[in-house]
Structure 1
Amino acid sequence: MKPPEVLVVGAGIAGLSVAGELQRRGVSVQVVEQAEALRVPTAGIVLHPNALACLDHLRGALDHQGSRIERNVAMDRDGSETVVEWKSVWPELPLAVHRRTLGKLLLSQLDPDTILWSTAPLKLIQEPEGVRVTFNTGDSETYQVVVGADGINSWTRHMVDPDAQPRFTGHTFIRTTVLPVTPSSSAEWRTWRHGPHTFGLMPIGQGRMAVFFQIAASEPLRSELPDPLEVLRNGCGDMPGEVRRFVDSMRLDEQLVTRSAFALTTSRFVAGRVVLIGDAAHAVSPATTQGGGLAVEDAAVLGEEIGAHGCRPEALAAFERRRQARVNAFQAIATQQVTLMEAVAARRVPGPEGLDDSAPIKPPVDASAWYRRLYGPLLAVP
């Protein structure tokens, strides 16, 4: 077996995706992950058609284990609804699936021994023909390309854009997945808004529902809540009876996880032979439901460019040209997502061209046009 040409740092969605893309093109890959085993949060993930197009090799398994989402329905405390019909936004319906399911499917596509667990880089030195990497195990190796897929708090990012810093989005999430007491066949993702809180339910296949509770806050949480279930129940105390009954009936067989949400913009994705992908390069608000999708796109495009140019800086430069324009265009529009939510809470909804202070007090039933604008940059092939 030839020595690895590419080192991937991180075994999340971005890292597993790019490792699979490269191996399918005959490129030898080593993945290192500081965790002891595959670690995925107890949460669902929405894969929009832009992501599904890059996961064609997993389509059958994803359709079998996930759930197609026909519409989003957001309920306000006065009982009014804002609806997004996904068939009016995308050429096919998004698919929701457990993050663990997606992680295991991506992992199953890799050659044996691709991943070194409990391993992390300590030092990178760029040399003319490669990158010399020293690991926490004491070992060192030279790779032609290093891919930083190590998330929002990326260690690898200091080699590419050391000034880029994550910024708090103003929201903290409590989330898990459950088997509801009363099974639901609905293909709707429903949310209920009440003051600074939002409660959401989304089918993710295999009879499970993703549950999330969003809290508006001025500062991010620095640690897990001591009793997130109590916070969830108290926060839903004034919500409609259907929400309270669901929360009271939950039988937790997975951990309730508390996470503050961060966004990130970098000035560059590449420095020499080091490239960033996924949240290490760009992170968007969870409200856009595109963090995982953009990571999967990154992996597909990087695989294409290395397949075309080899493991050379020219491939990474071509990747950066393709990805930076697309990601920047989406991030520019995605910043309006918070404005949209605030407008809805204030009983006025922007049209597809933006906010209008003279808009009627009652929001329209269908907000699909606005979402077509939000996802517009992602309609074309990555």
Structure 2
Amino acid sequence: MGVARILVIGGGIAGTAAALALHKAGFESSVHEAHPGSAEDLGAFLTLASNGMRALAQIDASDAVRAVGFPLTSMRVLDDAGAELAQVPLGEAADSLLQYRCLRRGDLNAALQTEAARRGIVIRHGARLASVQDGPDGVTAHFTDGSTATGDLLIGADGLNSTVRRQIAPDAQPCYAGQRVFYGYTRAAARSEPDARITMVRGSTAAFGHAVSPDGETYWFARVAGEPLPADEIADGSPAGWRELLVPLLRKDATPAADIVAATGDDVMVTNATEIPAGTPWRSGRTLLVGDAAHAASPVTGQGASMALEDAVVLAKSLRDAPDTETALRLYEELRRPRVEHNITVSGNISRGVHSPSPAARGTAVPRPGDDELVRLLEWGVDVWTRSG
């Protein structure tokens, strides 16, 4: 079956990046986003690693993303007594195009969507998916407002609680990965970091990280082991309540963490670290999952967004280069599954305390399948089917 029209369900990082990559590869795609704005989860921040920035460069979206957030070029690691364990360059720090970037998720979504609109890609907001109907001549998305859209292929990029995934793999449920994750911002904390450095703290009761933006705002996160927070408790919780929970834990250590959290006002949020079990089906007929809908992982390794950006490039190139769509989807899965499921496993093990996160503590990246060949795989001019270029 040939592919002329592609429906992308979800206008977050994975979906919008996929649309940008598909557009560059010559395909017609439209993005259908349930939320009326740029996307959900606007408050939390993330880091794009060098591999994610490399993927952005291949779809000509570097400038759009580098206009928001700030670079991170080094990482310092502290123990619970505040002693320095390591200080190392972060990723490809010497290349300004590939430097790690720290930014709010909502800002990244907005930047990608603005770039997509600039290229003429249709993004429909307020389109909440109800069901998917796969047929011999195409796939139809049915939305809750009664509207429909039909294409030759449907990409489910609708996140952790994916409606598309429930159609493909109804028994696959997101799992708690062993930690509660807190995020916050403050301008009131004493500035303890130089520009472009992130400090990671291996605390006795929590893992903590913080970086300071060029304009003096401290971005921080804390990961705390324990039972998952109930959904109603997360929804009803207050910033003051989260601070009261965190600060006493962090005060047990001689690190800057407690003072940073104590200086934070209302910009505090919390979520449960969650993952999609390895082996979850990604495709059925004319439907394929990408990003968190397919392979969400605990945020420990900080690779969720970067993996989604890699997905976008590899999917577009697979559809461009393989002889037919079925072969392309199989190739995509063969190229992506070992890498992203390794990330799920490593992140989940660290979250659950199954083993010591010694590579991260030393300031080195956790190696993933495909790391050695990733540069070539992402390079737009290289054919992923023949590996020539």
Tell me the TM-score normalised to structure 2 length: 0.81
Cα distance between partner residues in 1 of 2:348 and 2:94:
24
Partner of 1:358: none
Q: 2:187 aligns with which of 171, 179, 182?
A: 179
Cα distance between partner residues in 2 of 1:331 and 1:233:
29
What one-letter code is carried by the residue in structure 2 that aligns with 1:104?
Answer: A
Cα distance between partner residues in 2 of 1:129 and 1:204:
51
Deviation at 1:338, TM superposition (A): 4.2
What one-letter code is carried by the residue in structure 1 that aligns with 2:75?
Answer: N
Partner of 1:202: 211
Cα distance between partner residues in 2 of 1:54 and 1:301:
9
What one-letter code is carried by the residue in structure 1 that aligns with 2:61?
Answer: L
Partner of 2:381: none
Query: 1:178 and 1:15, CA in 2 relative to 1: closer, same or farther beyond 3 A?
Result: farther
Cα distance between partner residues in 2 of 1:152 and 1:19:
19
Partner of 2:72: 69
Deviation at 1:272, TM superposition (A): 1.2
What one-letter code is carried by the residue in structure 1 that aligns with 2:105?
Answer: R
Deviation at 1:250, TM superposition (A): 3.0
Tell me, yes or no, if the aligned pair for 1:168 and 1:220 is still in contact at 8 Å.
no
Unmatched 5+ stretches in structure 2: 378-389
Cα distance between partner residues in 2 of 1:66 and 1:308:
34
Unmatched 5+ stretches in structure 1: 345-349, 353-365
Partner of 2:299: 286
Paired residue total: 358
What one-letter code is carried by the residue in structure 2 that aligns with 1:230?
Answer: E
Partner of 1:258: 270
- Pair 1:367-2:362 in alignment: yes
Q: How does 1:95-134 map to 2 (within 5 A)?
A: 95-111=101-117, 114-134=122-142
Partner of 2:156: 148
Tell me the TM-score normalised to structure 1 length: 0.82
Tell me, yes or no, if the aligned pair for 2:141 and 2:148 is still in contact at 8 Å.
yes
CA deviation map 1:215-235 (0-9, x unaligned): 211234323224323323343
Partner of 1:268: 281
Tell me, yes or no, if the aligned pair for 2:195 and 2:214 is still in contact at 8 Å.
no
Query: 1:205 and 1:269, CA in 2 relative to 1: closer, same or farther beyond 3 A?
Result: farther
Query: 1:313 and 1:230, CA in 2 relative to 1: closer, same or farther beyond 3 A?
Result: same
Tell me, yes or no, if the aligned pair for 2:42 and 2:104 is still in contact at 8 Å.
no
Deviation at 1:251, TM superposition (A): 4.5
Deviation at 1:134, TM superposition (A): 1.6
What one-letter code is carried by the residue in structure 2 that aligns with 1:284?
Answer: A
SS in 2 for 1:374: coil
Query: 1:182 and 1:65, CA in 2 relative to 1: closer, same or farther beyond 3 A?
Result: farther
CA deviation map 1:110-163 (0-9, x unaligned): 136722222122121211121122211112232111111111111111232333
SS in 1 for 2:61: helix
SS in 2 for 1:200: strand
RMSD of aligned Cα (Å): 3.1
Q: 2:225 aligns with which of 192, 216, 229?
A: 216
Deviation at 1:302, TM superposition (A): 1.2
Deviation at 1:61, TM superposition (A): 4.5
Partner of 2:84: 81
What one-letter code is carried by the residue in structure 2 that aligns with 1:25?
Answer: A
Tell me, yes or no, if the aligned pair for 1:273 and 1:316 is still in contact at 8 Å.
no
SS in 1 for 2:52: helix
Query: 1:191 and 1:108, CA in 2 relative to 1: closer, same or farther beyond 3 A?
Result: same
Cα distance between partner residues in 1 of 2:296 and 2:225:
19
- Pair 1:31-2:17 in alignment: no
Percent sequence identity over aligned pairs: 23
- Pair 1:299-2:312 in alignment: yes
